[in-house]
Amino acid sequence: MACFSSLFLLLAVATVLVAASAAANFYQDFDVTWGDGRGKILNNGDLLTLSLDKASGSGFQSKNEYLFGKIDMQLKLVPGNSAGTVTAYYLSSKGANWDEIDFEFLGNLSGDPYILHTNVFSQGKGNREQQFHLWFDPAADFHTYSILWNPQRIIFSVDGTPIREFKNMESNGIPFPKNQPMRIYSSLWNADDWATRGGLVKTDWSNAPFTASYRGFNANACVWTNGKSSCSAAASTTPDSSSAEWLSEEMDTTGQERLKWAQKNYMIYNYCADNKRFPQGIPQECSLS
């Protein structure tokens, strides 16, 4: 009996490990969509790299579309002199009135910090930029960048620390991304006309190729297929499943304190505080949130 129990435990552990590795396999979850060989899936699907040279950048997208999810990706950004480069990692739908949730990493000269640029588009309207420095060197090692997107809120996090929250304020007439399924996209490209110091610092092509690396993808999410959500079926069979807790997740007191810490110490731009940009008054969500 003990041998049977041990065998059962080993099989269960193996099943979990196989499922976990499958969930993070880039061959299974993503397609490299452009770059003529500059985007590569390596290490049996555990690692993906994007490269940029003077001829082209590169990019990939998820095979699945999602309508709500808790999505994690580990990134290691372009090291050294990355001025002029942008590494974008975001969720987006299609069409003229698209929704989008953005992480963009703006490169800089060696020794100067990256800028993490965030934005939220709903029904084609963005202009909700918040920018941050980070409390570590994002090119020295992998760090986890997460998006929690549920019907109530969007939370951007870095290594588990919330840096931004965008709440659903539809009751006040402010559109919120909730009806359009989105894919995950990422790209590494040259944006030296604006990315570093407003375009004053140009890309130094003698440092090319520039490379960003990805690993550790995980998505607890509602997959959208043929007009239906995977969460609808799951909810009907397992209404109390803890796997879908993220669908109603919100920040606890600790999360709120960490958010305040990040914004106080590392936020360098907030559209809600840019009175010159909005002379007719700041956007309505700024006064409500």
CA torsion, ordered 64, 134, 115, 150, to nearest 10 deg: 30
Measure the N-to-C terminal CA separation of the chain; round to a whole number of Å: 59
Q: Exposed (0-12), middle (13-18) or buried (19+): which is 274, by Cβ within 10 Å?
A: middle
Please give the structure tokens belonging to residue 60: 């990939």
Q: Which helix (H) or strand (E) holds 28?
A: helix 26-29
Judged by DSSP in three states, 259 sits in helix
Tell me the C-alpha distance between 61 and 89, whole Å. Answer: 10
Active-site annotation holder among 104, 165, 245, 249: 104
Annotated active-site residue 100? The verdict is yes
Tell me the C-alpha distance between 166 and 253, whole Å. Answer: 17
Annotated active-site residue 245? The verdict is no
Assess contact for 54 and 40: CB atoms under 8 A: no
Q: Which helix (H) or strand (E) holds 8?
A: helix 2-23
Question: How many C-beta neighbours within 10 Å does residue 58 have?
Answer: 25
Mind telling me the catalytic residues? 100, 104
